[in-house]
Amino acid sequence: MIKEILKTKGDKQYLYSKNTTLVIEEGGNYKNYDWIITFNDLGFRCGYVAIPTDNKLFKKFKKHTDNLDYFSEFDVHGGITYARIGGEKAEQFIEINNLDELWLGFDCGHAGDEEDYELVKIIWNEENFIKHIQELQNIKNRSKNIRNQMYKEFNVPILGEWKPRSKEYLKKELEGLIDQLIEREKVIYDRQMHKTNKRN
């Protein structure tokens, strides 16, 4: 499905979702895994990796899409926050004929992640929306010290320095996640080989 989405996007800078609150910024393939980066009108990016049905991990992960704790072994920004058969997200951009991918995703809307309001203004260049974003930005700037104090008091982990996470940052995180998925594939393969050898 990611391939179809990227084909639809073509060389356009952004592909808007049907309800226009989300855009695809970039996507590609790394070591035979398709990935995309989205950006929403709240100012945050998310990254997704597609696991096709013929991948060893698909069957294993499919059983656990309602339990995100199952994916806690993966070291990615803020942890895995999305695990679904990909149609739910994909149908915001293209017509879906078959659900042939499981998407694992993470978001950059955690403590330590700033909204990229400047990019929001560029993508959703509407006067009323820009006024709304500027108001949010002003409120956020005024409340920064209070927010930091609250996070300290409640012992909320902050993911590094407060800043928006760039496309380049997400791309590195996605590649790191894919490397971990490949390692997990190898573990499954080794176990299967061990069982086969035991039988013989």
- Reduced 3-state DSSP string for 126-148: CHHHHHHHHHHHHHHHHHHHHHH
* pLDDT reported for residue 147: 67
Q: Is residue 120 part of a domain?
A: no
* pLDDT reported for residue 19: 83
Q: Is residue 142 part of a domain?
A: no
Q: In what order do the strands lie in the sheet with 45-52?
A: 15-16, 22-30, 33-40, 45-52, 101-107, 82-85
* pLDDT reported for residue 91: 81
Q: Is residue 105 part of a domain?
A: yes
Q: Which helix (H) or strand (E) holds 193?
A: helix 167-199
Q: Is residue 131 part of a domain?
A: no
Q: What is the CATH number of the domain that holds 55?
A: 3.30.1460
Pick the more confident residue, 93 or 169: 169
- What are the pLDDT digits (tens) for 141-157? 766 666 667 667 777 66
Q: Predicted confidence band at 58 (pLDDT cuts at 50, 70, 90)?
A: very high
Q: Tell me what the mean pLDDT of segment 9-32 comes to.
A: 93
The CB-side HSE value for 177 (13 A sphere, CA atoms) comes to 29
| Distance (Å, whole) CA 54 – CA 52 | 6
Domain count, the chain: 1
Q: Is residue 144 part of a domain?
A: no
Q: Is residue 130 part of a domain?
A: no
Residue 143's contacts (CB-CB under 8 Å, 6 or more residues apart) are: none
Domain residues for the domain of 164 are: 2-112+159-199
Q: Is residue 51 part of a domain?
A: yes
**Is-contact 18 103, C-beta < 8 A?**
no
Predicted TM-score (pTM) of the model is 0.85
Q: What are phi and psi of 9, to 5 degrees?
A: -65, -40
Q: Is residue 55 part of a domain?
A: yes
* pLDDT reported for residue 46: 96
